Amino acid sequence: MRKIWGIKKNTLKLILEVSKESYPKEFAGLLRAEKGVITEVMLLPGTLSGSSSAIFQLHMRPIDFTVVGSVHSHPSNSFSPSGPDLHLFEKFGHTHIITCAPYDYDSWCAYDFYGSKIEIEVVD
């Protein structure tokens, strides 16, 4: 079994709502997990959000072994990772989520370290 197999429904709801509220800029955060389930989103100080990218200041992240990857939104209707997304995936974490317009329960996707799609179950 993969390290991360689920995401709390309330956490996913928060991610989708913040993504929608941030539109047309990208939203970005880090994912925290407990016992294989993503439970929280952590915001990093100094994260820059624009209409075509969000830039993390990864040197600002705390030493926290519950952080498993990243989440960010695309202002388009595609949740496919870009070249810079894949570069981030390779350098940091093993589980990443991208959301896209219209930011509903069907407009997100999870990826692994290599940028391959992975299934994550939504749990209560």
Catalytic residues: 26
Count of other CB atoms within 10 angstroms of residue 21: 11
Q: 46: left (phi > 0), else alpha (psi -120 to 50), else beta? A: left
pTM here is 0.91
CA atoms within 13 A on the CB side of 123: 15
pLDDT less than 70: residues of the chain: 1-2, 46-48, 50-53, 56
DSSP code, position 119:
-
Find all residues with CB under 8 Å of 12, minimum gap 6, and list them: 105, 108, 122
Give the chain's domains with CATH numbers. Answer: 6-53+65-123 (3.40.140.10)
